[in-house]
Chains A and B, each alone.
Chain A
Amino acid sequence: MISNIIPGLIMILTSFLLPTIPQYFRHPAMLLSVGLSALSLFNGYGTFLEWDVLGLNLILYQSDSLTFPFSIIFHIAAVLVIIFSWHSKNLMEHMATLAYAGSAIGALHAGDFFSLFIWWEATALTSVFIVFAGNTKAARDAAMRYLIIQVSSGVLLLIGACLLLYQTGNHNLTVLDLTTDFGIFIFIAFGIKAAFPFLNGWLQDSYPESSVTGTVALSAFTTKLAIYALARTFPGTDSLIWIGAIMTAFPVFFAVIENDLRRVLSFSLNNQLGFMVVGIGIGTELSLNGTVAHAFVHIIYKALLFMSMGAVLYRAGTTKASELGGLYKYMPFTTIFCIIGAMSISAFPLFSGFVAKSLIMSSLGGMGMVLIYFILFFASAGVLEHSGIKIPYFAFFAHERKSKVKEAPINMLIAMGIAAVLCIGIGVFPKYLYQILPYTVEYQPYTIDHVISQLQLLVFAIIAFLFLVKFKLYPSEIRSIVLNSDWFYRKMLPGIGKPLFKKIGLLTELIYENLRFFFKLILNKSQKFSNSSYIKVTTPSFAATILISILFIMLLIVLI
């Protein structure tokens, strides 16, 4: 029965078959597998597949009102990525992408921590090949760091799951808190993948190093799987409100000065996750709906923005702000799609970001959390700065371009077009999004107060931008990198570790030298002794002398 097959599994199986399929049919086959997997969306809610193994009851396939919206959007994202990469012949990347999307969908439907762990590691192992497929030295190095961090997250999850089973006898996905040790392990495991403050370095390190198409795939799944996992196990955990608020505010400053536009988008992705984490922290039905809605629309507009920058990278050969500008003339469609993505993420009314973010803001306002409310309001101006203005401005406008480039290939335009239509469609008809959210909540995002308030914020932030550019206060693009939390393990730890190990090395060498000298001494003495001319009759042989010496030393050691 098809209803008993884990969603996503068919995508993973298809990915293994891809090398046997002729190049021409690979993308249709990939799309077909996503379509077959998506049939699971019609199964309804319930537990469909369990497996008793090693005395454990693993729930391999379950679905409910929380998995459903995530499953829909993961399937949509997979389709967008496949269409966007239609021109590409990179087999390894296609296999990795399909298996990665399949693993993420499988993870959504896991009903216990051990099955979740397996899928959790599967997403890590499959996605690292997407980073590898960037096929530069920087990409390969970043992939190794990415793998270490992602696998560490999995190991922490496994430790947490084992402790949970040992201490409570239960390993099903349940609501946990931070008063238990297993709760803390699992929280950090999820926190790494959700790019919590100081655990976020891997994201900005690896995503921009991936290929034109790879980054689009990466942006959709890992972090949103972590958001799903947090929403399932830690709803209403107070510390998440502050963690989320810091996540919304801090990446904003890094994004302002970052030169690589795909890295700017990675900082922006981090800031968007912050909004979702705040929603989980509040833990009301309205705020959890807000988190899910935000994850849903975010995957689409973030993919759209990464696709537009992918198209720029594909045609212009770089996404460095300092090298770009003036592309609007040559890539008009990409420009329009990018602006639609930018307006969606900035939460302009009638675009998808607005109808999702409103839910989280309203739940904050309703609970009277004034400080967090204004941190998020402030961060909204920040989103407009880096994703709303900086991305389209530096890529497509800024100054005239001297050399010509071509418009993006047709498959890229189709993928971007679909995403753009979804961004506007959801913004104009939010009720279709609200219908699939976990809780039934009556909510109207388009009130006059709300629309005017948001428009004032955005329009005057744009005026501030024009003002800063006019008076030459806006930071110019400089070929550079910005330090991030990956600095701690890329520079600081080696900085401490290398001299330290050098010292230890010198010390061991010194000890070794002394030992060698000592043994040489014994050797010489015994040789002299055995060769001496005046003892002729009972001279012990050379070997015997050494043995006796060693025994003597051992006796000394034992005595001491």
Chain B
Amino acid sequence: MKKNDLKSMGKSFTKYILIIGALLILLDFTFHRHEYFSFAEIYGFPAFFGFISFVFIVLLGKWLRKFLMRKEDYYDQ
């Protein structure tokens, strides 16, 4: 049990975050969310935008490693 501390923490964290996420989407249906731009008022728009942005940032960053990543002693050579 001790060894799996982090794993079980991760699991329960995932569970709660998913519940909160679902609640936030449901909440969106209960009232009209006013935004500065009308297309952002679509149900779940910020959620969608957040998810896509995050994936985009991580995957593009990972791809950029090809060009930007160097060994730690790069500047000492």
Report A's interface with B, CB cutoff 8 A. Answer: 252-257, 326, 329, 362, 364-366, 368, 370, 373-374, 377-378, 381-382, 384-385, 397-400, 448-449, 452-468, 473-475, 478-483, 490-491
- B51 contacts A480, C-beta separation under 8 Å: no
Tell me the nearest residue of chain A to B61, going by C-beta.
Answer: A256
Of B6, B37, B46, B55, which is within 8 A of A457 by CB? B46
**Cα distance, A454 to B24, chains bound together (Å):** 10
Contact A448 B61 (CB under 8 A): no
Q: Which residues of A contact B53 (CB under 8 A)?
A: 377-378, 381-382, 461
Using known A-B contacts A453-B35, A460-B21, A473-B58, determine if residue A491 contacts B75 with beta carbons closer than 8 Å.
yes
A459 engages B55 (CB within 8 Å): no
Give 12 CB contacts A-B under 8 Å.
A257-B64, A326-B6, A362-B36, A460-B46, A460-B51, A463-B18, A464-B50, A464-B51, A464-B52, A464-B54, A467-B55, A480-B72
Q: How far is it, in angstroms, between the C-alpha of A298 and the C-alpha of B44 when the chains are bound?
A: 29
Contact present for B47 and A457 (CB under 8 Å): yes
CA distance A381 to B51 in the complex (A): 8
B35 smallest CB distance to A (angstroms): 7
Which of chain B's residues has its CB closest to A401's CB?
B6
Cα(A509)–Cα(B57), bound, Å: 53
Given contacts A457-B50, A464-B55, contact A257 B25 (CB under 8 A): no
B37 touches A385 (CB 8 A): no
B60 and A253: CB pair below 8 A?
Answer: yes
Q: Which residues of A contact B31 (CB under 8 A)?
A: 448
Contacts of A483 in B (CB 8 A): 67-70
Whether A453 contacts B55 in the complex (CB less than 8 A), given A482-B69, A483-B70, A490-B75, comes out as no
Q: How far is the CB of B43 from chain A (nearest CB, A)?
A: 10
Given contacts A252-B57, A474-B58, could you give 6 more A-B pairs where the C-beta distance is less than 8 Å?
Answer: A365-B36, A381-B53, A452-B33, A452-B46, A460-B21, A468-B55
- Nearest Cβ in chain A — how far from B48, in angstroms? 7
Residues of B within 8 A of A (CB): 3, 5-6, 9-10, 14, 17-18, 20-21, 24-25, 27-28, 31, 33-37, 40, 44-55, 57-62, 64-65, 67-72, 74-75
Give which listed residue, B3, B33, B47, contacts A400 with CB less than 8 A: B3
Bound complex: CA of A73 vs CA of B52, how far in Å?
36
Of A384, A400, A461, which is in contact with the most chain B CB atoms at under 10 Å from its CB?
A: A461
Query: A381, B54: Cβ atoms under 8 Å?
Result: yes
Given contacts A385-B57, A460-B47, A490-B75, contact A453 B33 (CB under 8 A): yes
- Whether the pair B36, A368 counts as a contact (CB closer than 8 A) is yes
Select A461's contact among B50, B67, B68, beta carbons within 8 Å: B50
**In the complex, chain A residues whose CB is within 8 Å of the CB of B54:** 381, 384-385, 460-461, 464-465, 468
Would you call A400 and B62 a contact (CB within 8 A)?
no
| Chain A positions within 8 Å of B6 at CB level | 326, 397-400
Q: How many angstroms between the C-alpha atoms of A397 and B14 in the bound complex?
A: 14
A456 to B70, CA, bound (A): 36
Instruction: Compute how far the CA of A466 lies from the CA of B16 in the bound complex, rounded to whole angstroms.
Output: 12
Nearest-CB residue, chain A, relative to B75: A490
Contacts of B68 in A (CB 8 A): 254, 257, 482-483
Q: In whole angstroms, what is the CA distance A243 to B20 when docked?
A: 36
Residue of B nearest to A369 (CB): B36
Q: Establish whether residues A256 and B57, one from each chain, have CB atoms under 8 Å apart when the complex forms.
A: yes
* Chain A residues with CB under 8 A of B10: 397
Roughly how many angstroms separate A237 CA and B69 CA in the complex, as a whole number? Answer: 35
**Residues A460 and B75 in contact, CB atoms below 8 Å apart:** no
B47 touches A459 (CB 8 A): yes
Q: A377-B49, A463-B17, A466-B17 are in contact. Are A456 and B25 (CB under 8 A)?
A: yes
Distance in Å: Cβ of B49 to nearest Cβ of chain A: 6
Bound: A5/B11 CA distance, A: 58
Q: Do the beta carbons of B35 and A449 come within 8 Å of each other?
A: yes
The distance from the CB of B2 to the nearest CB of chain A, in whole angstroms, is: 9
